[in-house]
Chains A and B, each alone.
Chain A
């Protein structure tokens, strides 16, 4: 390669390259080889991907199947540790043994950077990273996920909980 001085790069070719025709054959060979290799392209919308448990999708709140009560005690540590200040929690008192629950729990998914700190800091294993990565919104306010979108039954999150048990 040589730089001719005005920003354009002019490749310096060998004799065989200058001959042009052998290079065409070389290129076509690569193409032919690739045609018979196994395909790893996914036909995405039709063909879904099930990520491995290590995958960090959007954070969700675990709800116990038997009782229908969320594990979260609204301690606010996830909101405190969140580097992008995406989480807002408002606690309130409940008659249950856990004494407090999140009256309001909101994650701004435009801010979330999927770092998983909230999962790591949670003393109750209540907020965990799910496999859900398909997040689309048409308006900023739609990106603020409240409890209606965050609460997920534990049975749907067994993979991640098992992963956390093993590796954390």
Chain B
């Protein structure tokens, strides 16, 4: 262990003492006491390059300034972060970097979240000593299907190169040429098409690497960022959901060392939110009247659903949960199935794609909550799985089916079986082939429109917070993350007119039907549902929303529920 002092006061002073392991670098030691040393090339998730020279600090008894990112701590070391000498050196470094950096912040996507912009603001002189014209390099270079490179903006920190080498383990990028002509390119014949390629956009300290899809779509200050969970696979990567005008404009990875570290796969980043913005979203409860689906109010649809379930005996009803839905939704659904209906026909569908996984982040199971659905008990007490339910439907033994947040009519046989049902009720966020066959449809909220917990493949419970407002959930401070326009705009502004959909969380819908059928399922919020889950299910014991927080919490190791491996993939 080494004890060192970090002085961040420009005129000296006592500084902060920190004790760290031998071999720790100064920049990490300073971070531990909350002192940020400016840096470009250093990234906590990558190896040390030491080529930007931005993290120069003054260390007592050292003849020259040292770079904090690669200097290792020593016992008794005194580091002056903001002494005059250090600040002037960094100012000079910044001026060097800015010699050829174009002044195009107004059209740069990074503006507002750019390290170079921030440090120029805090350190920079505000003018350039040079009169010569800036270097011309190629702009809008397509490095791969999702990444566009602007060579003029690049400050050559090599973060992207190191990411591809060390994290993606797919060396693709390299420096080309020398001196002031140097730029970044792919190796000949190669393309930046790795499944993790878009992480280079996040780690790029400037706007040199941009997201082809998000390019020019929105300015950072117009958007709000909400802590969410990626629902693309059972890894459950932590994300920030960026919303403008009540529409998700992009997803970014959020640091969680226990799950995804700083990274996320391209598929999760690009495709896991598309359904929230989709044109195919359901926007009202619907009832089939005279063979045609008609939009009705919530009360009418719920009453209709309850009435439709009454004539059937408990063995004639089947309930299908969902690994896409949250822990709360699945818990309420199994409570509905067991206590209100009393049916043994209860299961959910697995959406695992065999072989579509790697040993980094991507998992074969393409749902966020299969573990959670099993844990809360969306499992038949008689071992009836989805394929058995379909057999029973085909043989006419099951006459009514409730499907939550899933599309069952994926195959021809399933579609035919669903058509045989007397009553098919579906809640889903989107128009699917199952909803086309349904007699009653409830529009449900997606993961981005509700509070919900998800259990990833390793048994870690994580909360996804609402980022998109619905008709019932007003975007107000305290409940939502707000952008500047959300805070200051009025309801008359056109940018506040983003679609707010008439949807409810699945647990709200199911519990409302349950209450109409004589059940006792009254909850104020999903947090209250989770409180009951924590009491009723041993694996969730002691957990609460507050305890899960932003980083998630593991399920307790206590006696776990029965695990069924019977779910089959519907192809």
In the assembled complex, which residues on chain B have CB atoms less than 8 Å from the CB atom of A100? Answer: 107, 216
In the assembled complex, which residues on chain B have CB atoms less than 8 Å from the CB atom of A74? Answer: 107, 216
A123 at the A/B interface (Cβ < 8 Å)? yes
> How far is it, in angstroms, between the C-alpha of A123 and the C-alpha of B103 when the chains are bound?
10
In chain A between 63 and 119, which residues have their CB closer than 8 angstroms to a CB of chain B?
73-77, 79-80, 85, 88, 91-93, 98-100, 106
Q: A85-B485, A99-B139, A106-B494 are in contact. Are A91 and B106 (CB under 8 A)?
A: no
Total residues of chain A contacting the partner, CB 8 A: 19
Q: A88 contacts B494, CB within 8 Å? A: yes
Q: A92 contacts B216, CB within 8 Å? A: yes
> How far is it, in angstroms, between the C-alpha of A75 and the C-alpha of B222 when the chains are bound?
12
In the assembled complex, which residues on chain B have CB atoms less than 8 Å from the CB atom of A92? Answer: 216
Q: A76 contacts B219, CB within 8 Å? A: yes
In the assembled complex, which residues on chain B have CB atoms less than 8 Å from the CB atom of A106? Answer: 494
Q: B107 contacts A73, CB within 8 Å? A: yes
Interchain CB contact (< 8 A) of B216 among A79, A85, A93, A144 = A93
Number of A-B contacts (CB under 8 A): 36
B196 → A minimal CB distance (Å)? 25
A33 → B minimal CB distance (Å)? 52
> How far is it, in angstroms, between the C-alpha of A100 and the C-alpha of B139 when the chains are bound?
13
Q: B140 contacts A85, CB within 8 Å? A: no
B121 at the A/B interface (Cβ < 8 Å)? no
> How far is it, in angstroms, between the C-alpha of A123 and the C-alpha of B106 when the chains are bound?
7
> How far is it, in angstroms, between the C-alpha of A76 and the C-alpha of B106 when the chains are bound?
8
Minimum CB distance partner of A144 in chain B: B494
In chain B between 459 and 507, which residues have their CB closer than 8 angstroms to a CB of chain A?
485, 488-489, 493-495
B221 at the A/B interface (Cβ < 8 Å)? yes
Q: A85-B488, A99-B140 are in contact. Are A73 and B219 (CB under 8 A)?
A: no
Q: B219 contacts A93, CB within 8 Å? A: no
Minimum CB distance partner of B221 in chain A: A80
> How far is it, in angstroms, between the C-alpha of A91 and the C-alpha of B217 when the chains are bound?
6
Interface 1/0 per residue, B359-403 and A, CB below 8 Å: 000000000000000000000000000000000000000000000
In the assembled complex, which residues on chain A have CB atoms less than 8 Å from the CB atom of B140? Answer: 99
Q: A77 contacts B216, CB within 8 Å? A: no
Q: How large is the interface on B (under 10, 10 to 19, 20 to 34, 35 or more residues)?
A: 10 to 19
B275 at the A/B interface (Cβ < 8 Å)? no
B215 at the A/B interface (Cβ < 8 Å)? yes
> How far is it, in angstroms, between the C-alpha of A92 and the C-alpha of B494 when the chains are bound?
18
> How far is it, in angstroms, between the C-alpha of A17 and the C-alpha of B62 when the chains are bound?
94
> How far is it, in angstroms, between the C-alpha of A92 and the C-alpha of B488 when the chains are bound?
25
A92 → B minimal CB distance (Å)? 6
Q: A80-B221, A85-B493, A88-B494 are in contact. Are A73 and B106 (CB under 8 A)?
A: yes
Interchain CB contact (< 8 A) of A80 among B216, B219, B493 = B219
Minimum CB distance partner of B212 in chain A: A93
B147 → A minimal CB distance (Å)? 15
In the assembled complex, which residues on chain B have CB atoms less than 8 Å from the CB atom of A85? Answer: 485, 488-489, 493
In the assembled complex, which residues on chain B have CB atoms less than 8 Å from the CB atom of A77? Answer: 106
Minimum CB distance partner of B484 in chain A: A80
B248 → A minimal CB distance (Å)? 16
In chain B between 216 and 255, which residues have their CB closer than 8 angstroms to a CB of chain A?
216-217, 219, 221-222
B106 → A minimal CB distance (Å)? 3
A63 → B minimal CB distance (Å)? 18
> How far is it, in angstroms, between the C-alpha of A144 and the C-alpha of B492 when the chains are bound?
12
B120 → A minimal CB distance (Å)? 16
B257 → A minimal CB distance (Å)? 35
Q: B494 contacts A91, CB within 8 Å? A: no
Interchain CB contact (< 8 A) of B222 among A76, A93, A124 = A76
B276 → A minimal CB distance (Å)? 20
B5 → A minimal CB distance (Å)? 42
In chain B between 135 and 154, which residues have their CB closer than 8 angstroms to a CB of chain A?
139-140
In the assembled complex, which residues on chain A have CB atoms less than 8 Å from the CB atom of B216? Answer: 74, 91-93, 99-100
> How far is it, in angstroms, between the C-alpha of A92 and the C-alpha of B107 when the chains are bound?
11
Q: B489 contacts A75, CB within 8 Å? A: no
Q: A93 contacts B107, CB within 8 Å? A: no
Minimum CB distance partner of B492 in chain A: A140
Q: A76-B219, A80-B219, A93-B216 are in contact. Are A99 and B107 (CB under 8 A)?
A: yes
In the assembled complex, which residues on chain B have CB atoms less than 8 Å from the CB atom of A79? Answer: 222
A91 → B minimal CB distance (Å)? 4
A146 → B minimal CB distance (Å)? 11
> How far is it, in angstroms, between the C-alpha of A93 and the C-alpha of B106 when the chains are bound?
14
> How far is it, in angstroms, between the C-alpha of A92 and the C-alpha of B215 when the chains are bound?
8
Q: Which of A73, A92, A99 has the most CB of B within 10 A?
A: A99
Minimum CB distance partner of A141 in chain B: B494
Q: A75-B107, A80-B221 are in contact. Are A93 and B215 (CB under 8 A)?
A: yes
Minimum CB distance partner of B222 in chain A: A76
Q: A75 contacts B106, CB within 8 Å? A: yes
B515 → A minimal CB distance (Å)? 44
A121 → B minimal CB distance (Å)? 9
In the assembled complex, which residues on chain A have CB atoms less than 8 Å from the CB atom of B219? Answer: 75-76, 80
B117 → A minimal CB distance (Å)? 13
In the assembled complex, which residues on chain A have CB atoms less than 8 Å from the CB atom of B489? Answer: 85
Q: Which of A75, A98, A144 has the most CB of B within 10 A?
A: A75
In the assembled complex, which residues on chain A have CB atoms less than 8 Å from the CB atom of B215? Answer: 93
> How far is it, in angstroms, between the C-alpha of A98 and the C-alpha of B107 when the chains are bound?
9
Interface 1/0 per residue, A35-64 and B, CB below 8 Å: 000000000000000000000000000000
> How far is it, in angstroms, between the C-alpha of A123 and the C-alpha of B140 when the chains are bound?
21
In the assembled complex, which residues on chain B have CB atoms less than 8 Å from the CB atom of A144? Answer: 494
> How far is it, in angstroms, between the C-alpha of A79 and the C-alpha of B215 when the chains are bound?
18
Minimum CB distance partner of B489 in chain A: A85
> How far is it, in angstroms, between the C-alpha of A156 and the C-alpha of B544 when the chains are bound?
65
Minimum CB distance partner of B108 in chain A: A75
Report 25 cross-chain contacts, Cβ distance below 8 Å, ordered by A residue. A73-B106, A73-B107, A75-B106, A76-B222, A77-B106, A79-B222, A80-B219, A80-B221, A85-B488, A85-B489, A88-B493, A88-B494, A88-B495, A91-B216, A92-B216, A93-B215, A98-B107, A99-B139, A99-B140, A99-B216, A100-B107, A100-B216, A106-B494, A123-B106, A124-B106
Q: Which A residues form the contact surface with B (CB < 8 A)?
A: 73-77, 79-80, 85, 88, 91-93, 98-100, 106, 123-124, 144
Please give 8 more A-B residue pairs, beta carbons under 8 A apart, in addition to A76-B222, A77-B106, A91-B216. A73-B106, A75-B107, A88-B493, A92-B216, A100-B107, A100-B216, A123-B106, A144-B494
Ranked 8 nearest A-B pairs via Cβ: A75-B106, A91-B216, A76-B219, A123-B106, A100-B216, A73-B107, A93-B216, A75-B107
